[in-house]
Amino acid sequence: MNQQHQDERVRIHEAMDRLLAGQATASNGSLTVVALAAEAGVHHMALLKRHVDLKNVFYERVRNETQQVPEPEKRLRETVTKLKRTIAIQKAEIEELRQLVSRLTLASAVLVQEGGRHAEPDPVSHNVVPFPRSTT
């Protein structure tokens, strides 16, 4: 590891300590990777690419030292809850559609069955042209 990476890591560790102590100097003080990067004076992609281990350490410290759930985890949990709700609604709709298909299939079969029983055509008005009945 080169000196620049080593310096970044030291600054990130110091920034973690300040954020968790509530003494932010260069960020808004939120317990997020973006705030950590701003506090450390590094681009947030450095935490997501070069220093992933420090990002994970930060979130672990947030969880343990502040008894809070990190923001990304909160957002993921909310998304999972919404998706589960959506899945439940869609399952209910699918079941309702399956029942409707069954009823329509039965109604169609009854109508086809009854269609063959009528030997005499229905009375037709003088201005209506009847469609020929199918024999199948």
Full pLDDT tens readout for the chain, 136 residues: 688 888 889 999 999 999 988 888 888 888 888 999 999 999 989 888 889 999 999 988 888 888 777 777 888 899 999 999 999 999 999 999 999 999 999 999 888 888 766 555 556 567 777 677 776 6
Instruction: Report the C-alpha gap between 63 and 19 in whole angstroms.
Output: 13
Contact 118, 135 (CB under 8 A): no
Write down the pLDDT at residue 86: 97
Write down the pLDDT at residue 117: 67
Q: Quote the tokens at residue 107.
A: 């109604």
DSSP state of 134: P
Instruction: Report the C-alpha gap between 23 and 43 in whole angstroms.
Output: 20
- Residue among 56, 75, 47, 10 at smallest CA distance from 38: 47
Write down the pLDDT at residue 27: 87
